[in-house]
Amino acid sequence: MGLLIDRIKSITGLVQTWSEVAATRKIQVPGIGITVAYTSGDAFGSKFSIKVPKQGTISDAVFLDYDDEGLAKEIVLFSKDFTDTADNSAFDVSDRDLANCVGIISLTTFYNYTSNQVGMATPALGYVAPKGVLWGQFVTRGADNIAANNIPEFFLVISQ
């Protein structure tokens, strides 16, 4: 057993990693239509921007579902500002804007707590944001119908 522990120490001693981990501010999904019936593939709210380190890895995305729907969402992220799709319309970005897409975070795992839910994703999505900002928009993969005072919020956890 002692030999195995010494071997592990020598292996792990070869590589040292240091990273800073930070959470973005909590953001209310902007532009959500109250009591509007969404369909799968619709833009869910309007465009948002979020300050981030100029490069990093999004290790976690947390979606606070106060309306207790638990419906899958995608967060489409861009390194430059883009023309958003109108809320409750089929999500559609131009080819020019798509060229600046840094990735998509798929929120499909939800934890249900009586009157609300938490959506979690661990995308390990590396990005470069030259201006220290990412722009994005949500896309729903369900039939949301958000009640007043239940607008969802989200935040990202980023490692550098």
Q: What is the pLDDT of residues 111-127, one digit of tens each?
A: 999 999 999 999 999 99
Q: What is the mean pLDDT of residues 146-159?
A: 96
Q: Is the pLDDT of residue 43 over 50?
A: yes
* 9 vs 73, more confident: 73
Complete edge-to-edge strand list for the sheet that includes strand 101-107: 43-51, 133-140, 73-78, 101-107
Buried b vs exposed e over 133-150: b needs ≥16 C-beta within 10 Å?
A: ebbbbbbbbeebebeeee
Q: Are 119 and 110 in contact (CB under 8 A)?
A: yes
Tokens of 48: 């948002």
pLDDT per residue as tens digits for the range 48-99? 999 999 999 999 999 999 999 999 999 999 999 999 999 999 999 999 999 9
Q: Where do the domains of the chain lie, and which CATH numbers do they carry?
A: 18-159 (2.60.120)
Percentage of the chain lying above the pLDDT 90 cut = 86
Q: Where are the beta strands (DSSP E) in 39-100?
A: 43-51, 55-65, 73-78
State residue 17's pLDDT score: 55
Global pTM value: 0.88
Q: Which helix (H) or strand (E) holds 113?
A: strand 109-113
